[in-house]
Structure 1
């Protein structure tokens, strides 16, 4: 097996405390007691102590917390509901107020002021709400407040949701320009295969790049290893890395989980990727909800690699329904993903001008907004799209 993307370390060497801003993601399996179905209050007290240690070291903290649906299910005595979206909405509405109350009570008891933020995908995937969210987070942190963030499941739909709080936490790390994302789960990081099924599975202490080889270690999305889930955690680590944020996946079941990581507890670190991208381009690159696809000819792909904009003449096919300014994915002639960008024309018009010369835009549409269908300042290419 090629071990290039894997690095070996023996201790955390206080990596957490080198951070300026940290996002802590807490899964339901960690926060909610399996027997009682209620918040593990004593554990949350220990988390508050950890948060205070970070704050006293000058580190700003944000929390992304699951648990609302689980608490709502317990209150209503409902089981096996996770995949039923209609049932998630009322149980989330009931459980979210219980979850917020638990955080407020425990954190306030430890001298920490919290603020609740509930998000839908538009709040991170649309540029203007994204900027408002960033501003709100920055304002709260300046006031010494710890934001507690969750997806607003009461209004989410299957076609418009984060899908899991792992990816939401990575998106929050990108929005907040965090240095470190800590994902607390019921497993102490990544293994070469599912350790619950394979006693020979080897724990991986650090990953430099999330490659296809690394992703294969997470198994299939439906396995016990991934339900809850290693697949989504790797996806989160990949999103965070692209935003210049390191990620650590650790077992959070024991008290003082952050202290344990810093004390060389078993975990997996994922390195950030050095990037010269602007904040705007990082947002484009890490978008979770592209609205359409543009299939490009080889000439257009070469022009993009050379640093030029995408013209309508370079587009073979337009797929999907989207509005002007939405994020779309860019694909090579063989359909391989080669980048993302902000589209200049809505899908109805983009389909009409695909393959045409720029001088033909006004004749075809009756107006001319831009020669480019995606401007070079609004697109990001994947490294894999650039020939060696």
Structure 2
């Protein structure tokens, strides 16, 4: 049975890498893409809702503009290539899906669109409506305006975040490799890993950070990060090869990352975030309390980094390592004033009744 059958996965996100969609000369692999469109059509007609996260805009634009290094020699080149290539990319997707009697819809997002809670909910509502209408959203990072500070940096992580927003049950990363190996698959004796129940240090050590094609921006490390985001949100993620015809209908080797069934919507949004406004440093006692499910109290806080407002996302650090992320109950100035204090002393310091915690457990996730 192919991965993520419609009956078991009502909503699926499919990510397609640049090396699959664009040939080495910078042209679109139309025959292969028509096969993918036919696979999507078969799934949609079987009742599955499918959205596509499609790479390829920069590679296509670089060819048309004659830019060196595939358009990645500088941020300005990448932005210009993306602006040019996105038109071609959206046009070809519209053509191949229309041939299958499907309607394509384009969504371009930046990191901020899915990091800001309100914009995240707006994007989620748009995705939900498009999918419910039977359209196939084709999503890409808006590289023409994104800068180094506000980029996902790869479409693997974007696909995982889109899955969260769309409340999908599965993410399929089509790649130039057929899954995770215990070492670089080009090395002798490399062993394929078919199923991952938990992403731990041993699994992370298997990642190869290179992008074999030279076109994309990801590698196995980015796919593991995507898997962590997806599974933390209760979404299954699979890495499979797109180097075959009709990859969505083929029964081929892959790696499946098993989802965490305990995930909650707001907490999964926090887990998947890639940025934070600031940080709170804590002592060992507070770290232990957080691990046991408690809120972060001011008594266990040692220091404040950065400037943030009440309700902003902060990272919680113990011995300089991130242990949790959550929504701060105070702005950074007031949080700094009550560091290390008990609740009965905070009212006099603040001049108002203190809140129950620096970060409440209902708005906190361990990482």
Give the Cα separation in 2 of the matches to 1:255 and 1:14.
15
Q: Is the 8 A contact 1:185 1:253 kept in 2?
A: yes
Secondary structure of the equivalent of 2:160?
helix
For residue 317 of structure 1, what is the aligned residue in structure 2? Answer: 303
Aligned to 1:218: 207
Superimposed CA distance per residue, residues 317-353 of structure 1 (whole angstroms, 9 cap, x where no aligned partner): 1122333222212223x33332111112233433333
Instruction: Give the distance between the partners of 1:311 and 1:167, measured in 2 at CA.
Output: 32
Aligned counterpart for 2:18 among listed residues 8, 28, 46: 28
Asked if the contact 2:3/2:248 (under 8 Å) is kept, the reply is no
The one of 277, 280, 291 aligned to 2:277: 291
Matches within 5 A, 1:1-388: 15-17=4-6, 18-35=8-25, 37-80=26-69, 81-82=71-72, 84-196=74-186, 198-219=187-208, 221-222=209-210, 224=212, 228-260=218-250, 263=251, 265-275=252-262, 277-332=263-318, 334-361=319-346, 363-365=348-350, 370-382=355-367
Alignment TM-score, normalising by the size of structure 1: 0.87
* Cα distance between partner residues in 2 of 1:27 and 1:59: 22
Contact residue 154 and residue 217 of structure 2 kept, 8 A: no
Unaligned 5+ runs, structure 1? 1-11, 383-388
Cα distance in 2 between the residues matched to 1:224 and 1:258: 22
1:299, distance to aligned residue in structure 2 (A): 3.0
Q: How far is 1:83 from its partner?
A: 5.5
The change in CA–CA distance for 1:14 and 1:172 in structure 2 (over 3 A counts) is closer
TM-score by length of 2: 0.92
Structure 2 Cα separation of the partners of residues 229 and 14 of structure 1: 21
In the alignment, is the contact (CA less than 8 A) between 1:16 and 1:180 conserved in 2? no
Check 1:248–1:14 CA distance in 2 against 1; reply closer, same or farther (3 A cut): closer
List per-residue Cα deviations over 1:67-123 (Å, max 9, x = no partner): 111111001011213252222111111111111111111111211101111111121
Q: Label 1:24 to 1:366 Cα distance change in 2 as closer, same or farther (>3 A).
A: same
RMSD across aligned C-alpha pairs, in angstroms? 2.1
2:210 and 2:220 in contact (8 A); partners too: no
Task: Give the 4+ runs in structure 1 shifted more than 6 A.
Answer: none
Following TM superposition, by how much is the alpha carbon of 1:209 offset from its aligned partner in structure 2, in angstroms?
1.6
**Matched-pair contact (CA < 8 Å) for 2:304–2:336:** yes
Aligned residues: 363
In structure 2, the residue corresponding to 1:24 is in which secondary structure? strand
Alpha-carbon separation, structure 1, partners of 2:126 and 2:354: 33
Residues 316 and 323 in structure 2, CA contact (< 8 A), matched pair in contact too: yes
Q: Structure 1, residues 208-247: CA drift from partner, whole Å, max 9, x if none? A: 222211111113x357499631110111111111111111
CA distance in 2, matches of 1:214, 1:370: 40
Q: 1:14 to 1:380 in 2, by over 3 A?
A: closer
Query: Which consecutive unaligned segments of at least 5 residues does structure 2 have?
Result: none
Name the CA distance, whole Å, in 2 between partners of 1:14 and 1:167: 20
Distance 2:211 2:18 in 1: 18
Distance in structure 1 (CA, Å) of the matches to 2:2 and 2:81: 42
